Amino acid sequence: MAKVHLFRAIHKFNAPGLLSTIPSIAGTQIPKRWGSEVTVRAFPSLRKETTSRAMKAYVERAREHEEFMRNQKFEYEIGKRHLANMMGEDPETFTQEDVDNAIEYLFPSGLYSKRARPLMKPPEEVFPARKAAEFDETGRPHHSMFYTGRPNFFQVLHDIAENINQLNTYEDQMIRKRVEVDPNLRLDISSSMWLPKEEFEDVLVEKILDIEYTNFINAMNRLVDLPYSYRVRDFIEKYRKPLSVKASSEDIPQPQLDSNGRQFVTISNCPRKSARAEVTVRKPGAGVININGSDIKYFSSDQCREQVSPLPFVFSLSSSAKLWQSK
Res. 304: pLDDT tops 80: no
Res. 173: pLDDT tops 90: yes
Provide the residue type at 119 as one letter: L
Residue 281's nearest CA partner among 324, 230, 327, 320 is 320
Q: Output the 3-class SS for 108-150.
A: CCCCCCHHHCCCCCCHHHHCCCCCCCCECCCCCECCCCHHHCC
Lowest mean pLDDT among 9-23, 56-70, 246-260: 9-23
Measured CA distances, 147 to 82, 130, 141, 158, 221 (Å): 46, 19, 9, 15, 27
Q: Would you state the pLDDT for residue 208?
A: 92
Provide the residue type at 59 as one letter: V
Q: What is the mean pLDDT of the chain?
A: 76
CB 83 within 8 A of CB 120: yes
Q: Would you state the pLDDT for residue 309?
A: 45
- State the Cα torsion 89-93-95-98 to the nearest 10°: -20
Q: Would you state the pLDDT for residue 237?
A: 93
Res. 167: pLDDT tops 80: yes
Q: Would you state the pLDDT for residue 288?
A: 79
pLDDT greater at residue 285 or residue 48 = 285
Q: Would you state the pLDDT for residue 9?
A: 46
Q: Which residues pair with 28 in a beta bridge?
A: 25
CB 228 within 8 A of CB 181: yes
pLDDT greater at residue 85 or residue 299 = 85
pLDDT greater at residue 128 or residue 253 = 253
Res. 266: pLDDT tops 50: yes
The percent of residues in the chain predicted with pLDDT above 70, rounded, is: 67
pLDDT greater at residue 120 or residue 311 = 120
Q: Would you state the pLDDT for residue 156?
A: 94
Q: pTM for the full model?
A: 0.45
Render pLDDT for 68-115 as a digit per residue (tens, 0 to 9): 888 888 999 999 999 999 888 898 889 998 998 888 888 888 777 777
Q: Which residues pair with 41 in a beta bridge?
A: 6
**What span, in angstroms and rounded, lies between the C-alpha atoms of 272 and 275?**
5
Res. 11: pLDDT tops 50: no
Res. 57: pLDDT tops 90: no
- Residue-wise DSSP of 299-326: SSSHHHHHHHS--TTTTTSEEEEEEEE-
Residues near 165 by Cβ (< 8 Å), separated by ≥ 6?
none
Q: Would you state the pLDDT for residue 184?
A: 86
pLDDT greater at residue 252 or residue 326 = 252
309: phi then psi, degrees, rounded to nearest 5: -75, -25
Q: Would you state the pLDDT for residue 244?
A: 67
Q: Would you state the pLDDT for residue 26?
A: 47
Render pLDDT for 232-254 as a digit per residue (tens, 0 to 9): 999 999 999 988 655 454 567 78
Give the pLDDT band of residue 165 (cuts 50, 70, 90): very high
CB 13 within 8 A of CB 43: no
Measured CA distances, 225 to 11, 185, 219 (Å): 71, 13, 10
Measured CA distances, 6 to 2, 62, 86, 130 (Å): 13, 39, 70, 45
